A and B are shown apart, each in its own frame.
Chain A
Amino acid sequence: MYGSASTHDLPTTAVTGLENEDPILLAEFEARIARGEKIEPGDWMPALYRKQLTRMIEQHAHSEIIGSLPEGTWITRAPGFRRKMAQMAKVQDEVGHAQLLYSAAETLGKTREQMLTDLINGKSKYSNVFNYPTPTWADSNVISWLIDAGAIVNQLANAKGSYGPYCRALDRICAEEAFHLKYGHDAVVHMATGTPIQREMMQAALNRWWPAIMTFFGPSDKMSVHTEILMRWKVKMASNDECRNQFLDMYVPKIWEIGLTLPDANLRKNEETGQWEFTEPDWEDFKRVINGDGPCNAERIAVRRAAEENGAWVRRALLTPKTQYVRPLA
């Protein structure tokens, strides 16, 4: 889930350093992308392309691994054996996605040790929605369905990007997401069409999550920094607002059809423009949370760090004198 091309902190000087690139190599690189060919790890690429992609794929990987925590919270208390098995399978998939994505990022030169070091020291970003808690089973269901749905919108767009290893990882991830989406939808529908208490619990969870969901695709395009070059290089494949609008178009009707409401009186589709209208999310609050001051930031990092530290002796014991790290090939 959660590839957000809106990496939330694109450089304000998006073209910095380009003047130092070899103009002939740069022209060949851009021509290859314009022809629709993918870039592979052995190719020459501008430093900015490498940097942006590394950051984006790394953040996506972190989002998978941190994103597995709020749903993982409910594995032990999932209602019924079948749901427990399914919840576990989904969480395992998400951790597998992180593995695929870390490897794709590594082909660009940053080691997995460096990426995990940055994550557990709080230096890296991940999707901000996971800084919120899942106080009930219904909250977990909202993530399974709607956060995954949002992630799929992003991931399908990014799978058409220009970097071969990222595309390969995303193709595999998207294939697995089909189950997540159906599982999540099923879980939400089950609650929403169940007893009055179940229904109430689901509505309350949706109310809690909606503001975060509205920020999932990142700040509005009108506030975003210059990303033209990242679009041209097919690093960023769709604007934040395009993704958000597509998501609303696909899922708001599905939410409404099961009798749930959304906590935004201004939410409606403008049939003339085809665009959804809504109350502008609180971007100041978004900034505050993503910079560390959310309800779960400390817990997420601490839990991840504890897992890394508690497992370190096992990993050390498994090493052999022949273990050799080489940057993955593709």
Chain B
Amino acid sequence: MIQSHDPRMNRLGLPDAPAPAVAKEALDQFGTYEVFHQKKEGAPFVYVGPVHAPEADVAFLFAKEQFSRRFACTGLWVVPTAAITLTDYVGDTESAYDTLPLLAKSSAAPAPDSRYTDDTAGEEAAYAAGEEDYDIFHLKKRGKAHQHVGKVRASSPADALQVAKAVFGEQRPVVNVWAARSADILRSDDEDRDIWTTTPEKKYRDAISYKVQDRIEKFKAENQ
């Protein structure tokens, strides 16, 4: 049996001999979700990274643990990775919207379109015709993080990127664009916002709560 300094390990009764090789099965580590967080109320949601989870609720739980544990956070969104449609990546001074296929005149949305205006009747008709909301995220610089820029209404993910180009295409640079169907995003609820106030009682996780210099000075003074 393996003898450890950790009594919990000793209780496992681990054999000395190396165990025969094993291979993990597919999905042993679940599926993937992409996580966005909000640093403070009113700030845009920003990409923080992926989590592995079997389903959206668990993804939210893991995301909260992973990304809101240490620093201020006022909201989280999780999206299945598969639900995000993206453009190609371009250089730091270019626009990813320029890589989208140019639409033939006939299928291009004629402006003004209810998608860009406050035409309520047109909006209802569009939803009835199968259009849906999409959230759009921009990456402004390689190595940085995607940030939420707004919503568009569109008939498909590819269409959402086209509409986003019409609405947000003037912004530059845009290294990469993500579009996610709004219905696929699991969002923290504003009513639950007290779940984010977890940090004040955990001062022992802050570098500033360690006053080590005082003790060093005292030691030095006593040992001159």
Q: CB within 8 Å of B: which residues of A?
A: 32, 35, 37-40, 42-43, 69, 72-73, 76, 82, 85-86, 89, 92-93, 96, 99-100, 103, 106, 111-114, 116-117, 120-122, 133-135, 164, 167-169, 172, 175-176, 178-179, 181-183, 185-186, 189-190, 192-193, 257-259, 298-299, 301-303, 305-306, 308-309, 312, 315, 318-320, 322-330
Residues of B within 8 A of A (CB): 2, 4-9, 12, 14-16, 18-19, 21-32, 34, 47-52, 54-55, 58, 65-66, 69-71, 80-82, 84, 86, 88-89, 91-92, 139, 142-146, 175-176, 178, 202, 204-208, 210-212, 215-216, 218-220, 223
A299 close to B4 (CB less than 8 A):
yes
In the complex, the answer to whether A40 meets B176 with C-beta atoms within 8 Å is yes
A328, B79: Cα distance in complex, Å: 11
CB atoms of A319 and B54 under 8 A apart: yes
Q: Which of A116, A164, A168, A324 contacts B24 (CB 8 A)?
A: A116
- Residue of chain B at shortest CB distance from A306: B12
Establish whether residues A43 and B89, one from each chain, have CB atoms under 8 Å apart when the complex forms.
Answer: yes
Q: How far is the CA of A35 from the CA of B71 in the complex (A)?
A: 32
Cβ–Cβ contact A42 & B88, under 8 A: yes
Chain B residue numbers with a CB within 8 Å of A185 are 210, 212
A325 touches B31 (CB 8 A): yes
A299, B32: Cβ atoms closer than 8 Å: no
Q: A323-B30, A327-B32 are in contact. Are A303 and B220 (CB under 8 A)?
A: no
Do A182 and B212 touch (CB < 8 A)?
yes
Q: Is the CB of A329 within 8 A of B84?
A: yes
Supposing A32-B91, A122-B18, A320-B55 touch, asked if A325 and B26 sit within 8 A by C-beta, the answer is yes
User: Shortest distance in angstroms between A166's beta carbon and chain B's nearest beta carbon?
Assistant: 9
Which 9 residue pairs are nearest across A and B when measured between Cβ atoms? A38-B143, A328-B50, A38-B142, A113-B24, A73-B6, A182-B207, A326-B81, A182-B210, A318-B54
Write out the residue numbers on chain B whose beta carbons fall within 8 Å of the beta carbon of A192.
Answer: 219
Distance of A299 from chain B, by nearest CB (Å): 5
A329 near B24 with CB under 8 A, answer no
Given A86-B204, A181-B207, answer yes or no on A168-B51 (Cβ-Cβ < 8 Å). Answer: no
Which single member of B2, B89, B216 contacts A42 (CB below 8 Å)? B89
- How many Å lie between the Cα of A121 and that of B20 in the bound state? 8
A190-B215, A325-B29 given; name 15 further pairs at CB < 8 Å: A111-B29, A112-B52, A114-B24, A168-B143, A175-B70, A179-B207, A182-B210, A193-B215, A259-B223, A299-B4, A302-B2, A308-B24, A320-B54, A325-B32, A330-B145
Q: Which A residues touch B19, using CB under 8 A? A: 302, 305
> 9 A–B contact pairs at CB < 8 A?
A40-B143, A40-B176, A86-B205, A103-B49, A113-B26, A120-B22, A179-B205, A183-B207, A326-B31
Given A133-B5, A164-B143, A259-B223, A186 and B49 touching (CB < 8 A)? no
**Minimum distance in angstroms from B207 CB to a CB of chain A:** 4
Min Cβ gap A211→B in Å is 19
Report whether A164 and B142 are in contact in the complex, using a CB–CB cutoff of 8 Å.
Answer: yes
The answer to whether B29 and A112 touch across the interface, beta carbons within 8 angstroms, is yes
Contact A172:B29 (CB < 8 A) given known A193-B219, A322-B55: no
* Given A302-B14, A323-B31, A167:B23 Cβ within 8 A: no
Q: How far in angstroms is the closest Cβ of chain B from A81?
A: 10
A89→B205 contact, CB < 8 A: yes
Residue in B2, B28, B30 whose CB lies within 8 Å of A299: B2
Instruction: Name the one of A39, A73, A164 contacting B4, with C-beta atoms under 8 angstroms.
Output: A73
* Distance of B19 from chain A, by nearest CB (Å): 7
Minimum CB–CB distance from B40 to chain A (whole Å) comes to 16
Residues of A close to B9: CB separation below 8 A = 73, 299, 303
CB distance from B185 to the nearest CB of A (A): 14
Which residues of B are found within 8 Å of A181, using beta-carbon distances?
A: 207
- Asked if A186 contacts B142 (CB within 8 A), the reply is no
Contact among A37, A172, A320 with B92 in the assembled complex (CB-CB below 8 Å): A37
Please give the distance in Å from B17's CB to the nearest CB on chain A.
9
Q: Is the pair B5, A175 in contact by a Cβ cutoff of 8 Å? A: no
**How far is it, in angstroms, between the C-alpha of A302 and the C-alpha of B69 when the chains are bound?**
29
- CB closest residue in chain B, given A36: B92
